[in-house]
Amino acid sequence: MAKQLNRRDFVLTGAAAAGLAATRPAFGRAAASQMSSARPVVVASGNGHRSRNANNETCVEVAFRMMTSGEDVLDSLVAGVNIVELDPEDASVGYGGRPNADGVVQLDSCCMHGPKRQAGGVGAIEGVRAPSLVAKAVMDHTDHHLLVGDGAQAFARNLGFEIEADLNTENSRRQYLEWKRRTDPGHYLTPEERIQAGLQAGLAMVAEGIIPEDEFWGTINCNGVNAQGDVCGVTTTSGLSWKIPGRVGDSPILGAGLYVDGTYGAAGSTGRGEANLYSLASFLIVENLRRGMSPKDAGMEGLKRIQENTVEQRLLNEEGNPAFGVNFYIINAKGEYAGVSMYASERGRFAVCTENGAELVPLDGLLQRPNA
């Protein structure tokens, strides 16, 4: 029979338990990981070190400066990606992002706070230049992880975000009109022909230099870890160029466009969202970090899973491999990092910022491009 506690014993036991709880890591992190320090680092897709603010700082530079000055890691990362979202010259994210097939800019974003085990996201939101801020507001102010479409916009309006009628810029509208001209939507094509015509028109514009290749699939993912090992991440995008209205890609989906485990690390993606959605590869990559893999090896396993799951002939090249690109940006809680890509490319780069400053680093490729 269990020993009964008198009031004095109960009070003393409660006080001891409270003292023990006070020694536990804030937000419930594992004590072992809290004991060891991490090397602070911010990683991002390549556009994380191109767009600049009024102080000539890029996304990764702002995020690293804020994070290492004591700011919350997620707040720092969101402030960094805001630079890209608000840059009218970057047509892959936020204001001036690539519109859908009806010429309307619809945006997706997701953020995850590792220490707090919290997340928020928005999909197909219109009229808000910086959807990452709305995604974080979903995390901070609701019991939900994802709001979409008109509901996401109404939520943003209720919180005081400015809602604009049109997020197109002269650049995004000009490229959209060129795409419309090439696809000739006045003809009644079969669905297969219509999809193929739209894709080929877009890829031709890439080949002619009208659209940068990374902007055609464009997104920005940015992940960071501070000296205390606090890991966070954010992904934001205008999605696939000229997508079907209402299409939501991998970017706002937990485990696909972004996944963070506060104890082990983070992974985020750019590239063909549908391939990543089917494989939930960011979750797989972070699970591989949990199993002890290095960031590079974990990322390669994610790419291999996408390769294995790509079996439709229309998605394969002449060598039987995926006919599209996918990149992952990975950090672990120790500050080790990697950037991996489905295909090796001399131009493939991702952004890194450490105590030594910011730079663009080559992505490690899983495969060689056909005829390379």
User: Hey, which residues are catalytic here?
Assistant: 219
> What residues contact 358, with CB distance under 8 A and at least 6 apart?
49, 58, 60, 61, 64, 351, 352
d(CA 280, CA 15): 44
Residues in the chain: 372
- Judged by phi (left if over 0) then psi (alpha if -120 to 50, else beta), residue 361 lies in beta
d(CA 267, CA 280): 11
> What residues contact 230, with CB distance under 8 A and at least 6 apart?
73, 114, 115, 262
Write out the H or E segment, with its range, that includes residue 364.
strand 364-367
Euclidean distance between the first and final Cα of the chain, in Å?
Answer: 76
d(CA 337, CA 229): 13
- Report the SS3 class of residue 304: helix
* Distances, alpha carbon 219 to alpha carbons 16, 19, 249, 270, in Å: 50, 46, 10, 6
d(CA 226, CA 295): 17
